[in-house]
Structure 1
Amino acid sequence: MTTVDAGREAGTSVVAGGIATNYHDLGSGDPVLLIHGSGPGVSAWANWRLTLPVLAERYRVIAPDVVGFGYTAAPAGFRYGRDAWSAHLLAFLDALGLERVSVVGNSFGGALALALAHEHPDRVAKLVLMGSVGLSFPLTPGLDAVWGFEPSPAGMRRLMELFVYDPAGLTDELAELRYRAATRPGVAESFAAMFPAPRQRWVDALALDEEQVRGLRHETLVVHGRDDRVIPLAVSLRLASLIERSDLHVFGRCGHWVQIEAHERFTRLVGDFLAAG
């Protein structure tokens, strides 16, 4: 499994909604916004490092660190929640002068993608939801472990094994890099403030209700790993049943990290979906 180049996690910075926001901006053409997940030590680069250069051959691909993650500032006293994260992403689009983008959301990022599409439908062209949160579901032991991460190198290794179907490709180097990213000054404190126990309430707080999802009119690609132990496949099945203009693709022998475990097929699928029609 490809390792994370930690030196590339810091990209370009722009002030969005008063927050210094780190992001990566590659390629040209129709703009595509990539929203990462919520694992400890995550960043846009760690999440999308295999996706960015390939999609950038066909599109302008923009991947920010959501406020509180990666190298985006975490303002003192910031109240984390779906509305605050969505407002920051909208301010980020405004700061870059992007009126309308297609949005690819991974897990937690899928909930933010859904919120943007629901609250600002004219700003979103197409949607891709991968292993997405965004509907209410019973908290899984896997997601509880992700959001309740207690920093340690061994704990990070165990957590990363939850994300994949086959842990044989995981390396101690990758686990160490993610552990270091999760324990940079201020990062662990921000993460601990986001999803304190009891954590079912955060699943529910990130969710739209089913009628709101049913009201979406965007062309949508719903993607999930069949063997995901963090977000149940049932969530994507339900999303696909609610969104009228949706297609569903399930990757077998694949866990929560579809964009890494099946990166070539995933990137080709997304690129072709965005190009169609």
Structure 2
Amino acid sequence: MNTPVNPEIGRSIATGSITTNYHDVGSGEPVLLLHGSGPGVSAWANWRLPIQQLQGQFRLLAPDLAGFGYTQVPEGIQYSRQLWLEQMVAFLDALGLERVDVIGNSFGGSMALALAIHHPERVRRLILMGSVGVPFELTPGLDAVWGYEPSEDNMRAIMRIFAYDQKLVGDDLVRMRFEASRRPGVHEAYSSMFPAPRQRWVDAMAHSEADIRGIRQPTLMVHGRDDKVIPLSTSLTLQQWIDDSQLHIFGRCGHWTQIEHASAFCQLVANFLAAA
């Protein structure tokens, strides 16, 4: 009997002291996909629908950031924005990629901004979806997400915060994410990243207004109007601060734009990245 293949496990590559699990799918111009920070998340869990829809047009690179998914980290590692930034740069270097388009979701949006701010020559265009990266008051939704303790009921509650359409929160999804969140070492890593009080981690992932205003790459913000995790105000602020930017707001949409409005999101992405 064949062992089922776990789609979350892709290829692995050395990125400094970290061994990064990643997906390299499709062909065309390279696009780096940076996932969010929900419990049990991985690059595949976050980006599976866009990967399916966009792989005919782009080369999609989706790594598990340190502490998430199946990326392997050394014992005693201290998670920080600097660590994740160094991992991303090492990842691009290891693949021989000088410049990429970048799509960042939520926490991954802050990391996409970090790459554009500190290594602008590596970023061609920038897409930020429900992005962290500017100051905002910690929402009850984000506090619950970062404060998750493993149980099926708790995971169901978190998934319900993410989704506007509650029908998306089925038993299979809840069980899959719950099982992912309780693999050995996963929750220990997760709980060490954003311990209470959690406003300090919102602040730690924020960039200065001057740094964000210095971004010159064409930038697209995408946000769900009904997002209970990251407030719409963050994207409104980013749109004010980034000169060459545009914002698309989806109504009847929570924090899962790429899942709740997958086809429309992918069309937006394709059009924006194809623009001259």
Same fold, TM-score > 0.5, yes or no: yes
Superposition pairs for residues 65-76 of structure 1, below 5 Å?
A: 65-76=64-75
Match of 1:118 in 2: 117
User: Over residues 124-183 of structure 1, what are the superposed CA-to-partner deviations in whole Å (9 max), with x where a residue is unaligned?
Assistant: 000000000000111000000000001110000000000011212221111010000000
SS in 1 for 2:267: helix
In the alignment, what sits opposite 1:272? 271
SS in 1 for 2:195: coil
**Is contact 1:74–1:190 with CA below 8 Å preserved after alignment?**
no
- Residue in 1 aligned with 2:172? 173
TM-score by length of 1: 0.97
Q: What 5-or-longer segments of structure 2 have no aligned partner?
A: none
Native 8 Å contact 2:17 2:74 kept in 1: no
Gaps of 5+ in 1: none
How far apart, in 2, do the equivalents of 1:192 and 1:37 lie?
Answer: 15
47-56 vs 218-227, greater mean Cα deviation: 47-56
* CA positional deviation for 1:6: 7.7
Tell me if 1:204 matches 2:181: no
Partner of 1:77: 76
Q: After superposition, where does 1:12-31 map in structure 2 within 5 Å?
A: 12-31=11-30
Could you tell me which residue of structure 2 aligns to residue 99 of structure 1?
A: 98
Query: 2:163, 2:255 within 8 Å by CA — same for their partners in 1?
Result: yes
Distance in 2, Cα, partners of 1:169 & 1:30:
32
In the alignment, is the contact (CA less than 8 A) between 1:6 and 1:177 conserved in 2? no
Q: Contact 1:15–1:21 (CA<8 Å) still a contact in 2?
A: yes
- Find the counterpart in structure 1 of residue 153 from structure 2: 154
- What SS does the aligned partner of 2:187 have? helix
Cα displacement string for residues 167-202 of structure 1 (whole angstroms, at most 9, x for unaligned residues)? 122211110100000000010100011000111010
Per the alignment, residue 163 of structure 1 pairs with 162
Tell me how far apart the structure 2 counterparts of residues 161 and 108 of structure 1 sit (CA, whole Å): 19
CA distance in 1, matches of 2:57, 2:121: 23
Distance across 2 between alignment mates of 1:238 and 1:35: 21
CA contact (8 A) 2:104 2:112 kept: yes
**Which one-letter code corresponds to 1:50 in the other structure?**
L
Aligned to 1:54: 53
Tell me the C-alpha RMSD between the 2 structures.
1.0
Identical residues among aligned pairs (%):
60
Partner SS, residue 125 of structure 1: strand
For 1:217-236, list aligned pairs within 5 A: 217-236=216-235
Q: Is 1:145 the counterpart of 2:126 in the alignment?
A: no
Between the two proteins, the alignment pairs up a number of residues equal to 273
Paired with 1:13 and 1:270, the residues of 2 have a C-alpha distance of 26
With the length of structure 2 as denominator, give the TM-score of the two structures: 0.97
